[in-house]
Amino acid sequence: MAKTWLLWNKAFMNIVLAVSGSISAYKSIDVTRELTKKGHKVRVVLTRGALEFVVPKIFTYLGAEKVYQPQDDFTEMASQESELDGAVLHVALAKWADQLVIAPLSANTLSNLCQAKANDLLSSLFLAWRREKPISIFPAMNSQMLSHPFVQDNFKKLSELSFLWCAPTGTGLLACNDKGEGKLLSVEEIIALIETRTLLQTQKTTLITTGATVAPLDNVRYLTNAASGKTAIPFIEEALKRGHKVICLAGKFSTNNLQFYKAHPHFELQYFTTTESLASKIETLFPLCDVYISSAAIGDIEFIPSNEKLKKDSLGNQLEIKKTRDILAHVLYLKKDHQKIIGFAAESQLSDEVLTKKYQRKPVDLLVGTQVDSGLQEKQSQGFGTEEAQYRFMKGPNDLSPLVQLSKKEMVSRACLEIYGEL
C-alpha cells in the first residue's frame, strides 16, 4: 500500500494517451495540450483507426514527448530511447507510464482489448500493463453501437479488471446527427478525471461545503453573496488523490466546474439553496465523514419569505430578519475524536482580534481566514471568484500565522498538509 501511495501522490505523472478511431479523436489533441500545460509528461499511441482522423505530428507540436503509430512496436526498439527501461516497446511503455488513458475508445478497440489481441502497440501495451497502476477509458460511439448487447458484454468484461475504470459517455447530438448516449466527455471533464484517478482507497470520506446560501425575500428576490464555490475544487482534487470518497454540497449558483468530477466513481455532488437546506444535508452526512471542510459562505440572516412578490407600496423602511442556524457550531457539537474539521472565516479584516474571537467560539482543527470584498462598492473584488486571496491560518489559541497571499491551490495544499497528515 505504501508503494502505491507514493506513486499516486506524485504532482506530475507520466501518461500514455491512446487514441482510437472515432470522430471525437480530435478532442485528444486538446487533452494532450492541457495535460502538458499542467506539467505531465505525455506519450501518444495511435491505432489504425485514429490515423483516419488525426495527424501524428500535431501531438508533438502541442507538447507530447513522443507519438507512436500502430506498428511501431515491431519497428522501433525501446532501447533506442534512454528514458525507457527495456528493449520491447510495449513493455517499456508499461513500465514508464503512471497511467494509461484511452480517449476516445471506439467499439473496435474495445473488442480488440477484450479478446486479448496483441496486433498493434495499444493492444500489446494493454496486456503488458502493470496492475498496480490505473487505466482510465473514455468511450465514444454511436448510441446504437453503444447499446448493442455484444458491446455491453465487452464493457462488463473490462469492469472485471480492478485497476481499470471506464467513464460514462455524454448525451447529446452525435456526429451522425443522432441524439443520445455516446458522446465523449468534455476535455475539461477528462482532464479532471485523469488527474484525480488513483487505485488507493482509504475507506475514508471527506465532506465539503462550498458556494453561497440563498435567503429568499419573496418568490422573486433573494439575498446571497458572491461566493463562487471555486475553493472546493482543489480540496476535491486533493481528497480524491488521497483515496477518499468525496461528498460535495454546493450552493445553487456555484461554478459549473464542479460538474467536471460528477463521473468520478468516488465523488458525489449535491446542491443546496437556503441555510436550512444545507443544515439538513449536513445533519445526515456529517456522522459519515472523517474530514469536514466548511468552505461554504453561509448567510448570517434570513427573511420570513413571502409566497408572492412584495409590492413596493406595501414595503416599509425595514425588513423583518432573523439569524440563521450556526451550522459549524452544531458540527463541532457533533464531532467525534477521529474527525478533522477545517473552518473558514471570510472577513473584510483578518486582525488577530477577529480571528481569535472566531476560533474561541468555534475551535476547529484548522481555521482559514480569508480576506474578502464583493467588489460592488467600487473596490476590487477579493476572495470571491478570484484565483488568489490573502489568508491567515490558525491551528490553536496561540498559533496564528501572518497574512500571506496565496493561490487557492496553494492555500489548499497548506491546509491539507495540516489536516490529512494527522489522519
**Domain spans, the chain:** 12-195, 205-422
Query: Whole-angstrom Cα distance, residue 244 to residue 174?
Result: 35
- Supply the pTM of this predicted model: 0.89
How far is residue 124 from each of residues 47, 67, 115, 231, 255, measured CA to CA in Å? 12, 16, 12, 42, 41
Q: How many residues make up the chain in this entry?
A: 423
Nearest to 249 by CA among 278, 284, 218: 278
Mean pLDDT of 109-132: 96
Q: Name the pairing type of β-strands 340-347 and 291-294.
A: parallel
Please write the tens of the pLDDT for every residue from 231-286.
999 999 999 999 999 999 999 999 999 999 999 999 999 999 999 999 999 999 99
More confident residue, 110 or 2: 110
Check: CB of residue 203 under 8 Å from CB of residue 290: no
* One fold for 12-195 and 205-422: yes
Mean pLDDT of 186-199: 96
What's residue 378's pLDDT? 53
Query: Whole-angstrom Cα distance, residue 302 to residue 222?
Result: 9
Query: Whole-angstrom Cα distance, residue 152 to residue 142?
Result: 13
Task: Say yes or no to pLDDT of 8 above 60.
Answer: no
Please write the tens of the pLDDT for every residue from 356-368.
999 999 999 999 9
* Whole-angstrom Cα Rg for the chain: 25
Task: Say yes or no to pLDDT of 6 above 60.
Answer: no
C-alpha cell belonging to residue 168:
460514462
Helices (H) and strands (E) in the chain, counts: 15, 21
Name the percent of the chain lying above pLDDT 70: 92
Q: Which residues pair with 344 in a beta bridge?
A: 368
What's residue 128's pLDDT? 96
Q: HSE-up of 99 (CA within 13 Å, CB side)? A: 29
What's residue 340's pLDDT? 96
The set of residues, in sequence order, having a beta carbon less than 8 Å from that of 219 and lying 6+ positions away, is: 305, 306, 307, 308, 309
Query: Whole-angstrom Cα distance, residue 308 to residue 310?
Result: 6
CATH class of 205-422: alpha beta
Options 3.20.20.70, 1.10.1060.10, 3.30.420.40, 3.40.50.1950; CATH for 12-195 is 3.40.50.1950
Q: Is 176 a catalytic residue?
A: yes
C-alpha cell belonging to residue 309:
412578490
**Mean pLDDT over all residues of the chain?**
90
What's residue 372's pLDDT? 78
Q: What is the pLDDT confidence band of residue 10, given thresholds at 50, 70 and 90?
A: low
Q: What is the pLDDT confidence band of residue 347, given thresholds at 50, 70 and 90?
A: confident
Nearest to 43 by CA among 66, 9, 74: 66
Q: Taken in order 9, 15, 21, 22, is the CA torsion positive or negative? A: positive
C-alpha cell belonging to residue 228:
463562487
Query: Whole-angstrom Cα distance, residue 248 to residue 12?
Result: 25
Q: Annotated catalytic residue: which of 114, 166, 176, 289? A: 176
Q: HSE-up of 27 (CA within 13 Å, CB side)? A: 21
What b/e string do you get for 407-419 counting C-beta neighbours within 10 Å, with b at 16 or more?
Answer: ebeebbebbbeeb
The set of residues, in sequence order, having a beta carbon less than 8 Å from that of 420 and lying 6+ positions away, is: 238, 239, 242, 291, 340
